[in-house]
Amino acid sequence: MIPLQMELGGKDVCIVLEDIDLDLVAANIIKGGFLYGGRRYITIKVVVVMESIAGGALVGKMNAGVVKLRVGQPEDDCNITPVVTESSSNFIEGLVMDAKEKGATFCPEWVYLIWPLLLDNVRADMRTAWEEPFGFVLPVIKINSNEEGIHRCNASNYTEYII
């Protein structure tokens, strides 16, 4: 038998329940969701959050953190750098447009440049809920119970880690 280690990609999920310090979790979701430009396999790729704290509370705090991220070239003192190829940019834009057409809310308002972007009100039928963007897009899916959060994670073919 030959020892080997495989990385097969994933869509790592952060489940946020009601008994959490919102400031602490928002800061860590921003760090975990946009670390390495979303191009690392073990970063937060989707946030599944209780409906009762999602709206103004958690998403508002996360959005406040996203708008503070600095965008620039790798040699600059910045948090966000360009994606690696035009095809990567086009793929990410396709995920974002699919979510927009199906009703996701852009936080902050989206322009035709791939800035760090929270997508609120994401549903399971949106590609961004389960496809790997390798970019600066972090979807937020609302749930009403712990069990629903676990079910959503287990329903994905891509979930590797639950944070």
pLDDT tens digits, residue range 28-74?
988 888 876 655 666 788 888 888 887 668 888 988 888 888 888 77
- Is residue 34, in this structure, part of any structural domain at all? yes
- Is residue 4, in this structure, part of any structural domain at all? no
Q: Of 5-14, 127-136, 145-154, which range is least confident?
A: 5-14
- Is residue 2, in this structure, part of any structural domain at all? no
- Is residue 8, in this structure, part of any structural domain at all? no
Active site residues: 7
Which residue range(s) make up the domain with 100? 13-154
DSSP string, 29-60: HHHHHHGGGG-STTS--EEEEEHHHIIIIIIH
5 vs 72: CA distance, rounded Å: 34
- Is residue 97, in this structure, part of any structural domain at all? yes
Q: Which residues pair with 142 in a beta bridge?
A: 49
pLDDT tens digits, residue range 91-134?
888 988 898 899 988 776 655 455 678 889 998 889 888 887 77
φ, ψ of residue 105 in degrees (nearest 5): -105, 130
* CATH code of residue 82: 3.40.309.10
Looking at the 3D structure of the chain, how many domains does it have?
Answer: 1
